[in-house]
Amino acid sequence: MFNHKFDQAPNHTVALNWFLLSFSGGCINAGGFLATGRFVSHVTGFATLFGVDVVNGQIEAAIGILSVPVFFLFGAFLAGLMIDRPIYLGKKPHFDWVMGLSALCLFIVAAAGALPLFGNFGDELSLRRSYLLLALLCLASGLQNAAITSSSGRSVRTTHLTGLTTDLGIGLSRALTVRSEKDRFSKEMWTNYLRAGSIAAFVVGSAIGAGVFLRFGYSGFILSGLVATYAAWHGRKAKITAHELLDP
C-alpha cells in the first residue's frame, strides 16, 4: 500500500488499497456531514462558512469554525514529521504510526458519540458541543491524506476530489497527446485509471457511508477506523523500503 510510486508499472493490489482509503474518505465525509452539517475531509467549506458567519455578525462562530481546518493541517504536519522527514534523512518512515493515529481518532469519535458527548447524531450544529468531533475528524483526514500523498509521489488524494479531478482532466488530455508513444500512453492511462478509480471509490464510500451512519449513528466511524487500522498494518511493511518511496 505504501511502497509503490504512482507512476510505476501497474500493481492492482496497491490500486485496490488506495481505492479502499478513498472509500473510507468518502465515508468520513458523509458521516461528518450527517452528524454536523459540515464536510470534514477537506477545508474549502470552512473558509466559506467563515465568510458567511462574519457577514452575519457571528464573529465568535466565525473564528471557531475557521480554526477547525487547522487540525487537518496539523494532521498533515504530523504525518510529514513521521513520513516525509525520515525519508528525506534516509531513515525509516512510520506509515503505521500515522494511520494508527488516524484510526485512534476515529475510534475515539465513535466511542464519544456513543456516550453521547456530542449530543444526538444529526442534531443542529453547536460548535461548542461539536468542536472536538470536527477537530478529530479533520485530524484523522489530514493524517490519512498526507500518508497517501507521500507514498504516491504527491499524486493521489484520498479525502477530497478537487485536485484529483483536475489531475484526471489534464491526464486525459496528456494521454491524447502521447497516444502514438506506446509506453508513455500506457503510463498515462494507468495513472488516469488510478485517479478515476479513487474518485469513484470516494463517491461509493459516501453513498454506503451515508447508509451506515443513518443506521448506526456515530458508531459508523468504526468502519473507517477499521480501514485505517488495516492501512496501519500495511504501513509496518513499508518501513523496509523507505528509501524507495520518494525521489531525492
What is d(CA 26, CA 119) in angstroms, rounded to the nearest whole number?
23
Buried b (16+ CB within 10 A) or exposed e, 167-206: bbeebeebbeeeeeeeeebebbbbbbebbeebbebbeebb
**Nine cell digits for residue 112:** 464519544
Structure confidence by residue, pLDDT tens digits, 61-117: 677 777 778 898 899 999 999 988 888 888 888 999 999 999 999 999 999 999 988
What is d(CA 147, CA 129) in angstroms, rounded to the nearest whole number?
29
* Cα-based distances in Å from 23 to 28, 45, 188: 9, 20, 23
Which residue reads 509496518 in cell numbers? 236
Kindly report the pTM of this predicted structure.
0.84
- Decide if 58 contacts 236 (C-beta within 8 A): no
Give residue limits of the domains in the chain.
Answer: 27-154+217-244
> Which residues have a Cβ under 8 Å from the Cβ of 199 and sit 6 or more positions away?
22, 161, 164, 165, 168
Per-residue pLDDT of the chain (248 residues; tens, 9 = 90+): 665 554 555 577 888 888 999 999 999 999 998 998 877 776 667 777 778 878 887 776 677 777 778 898 899 999 999 988 888 888 888 999 999 999 999 999 999 999 988 888 988 777 778 889 989 999 999 999 888 877 766 556 666 677 778 888 988 998 989 888 888 888 888 888 888 998 999 999 999 999 999 999 999 999 999 999 999 998 887 654 444 444 43
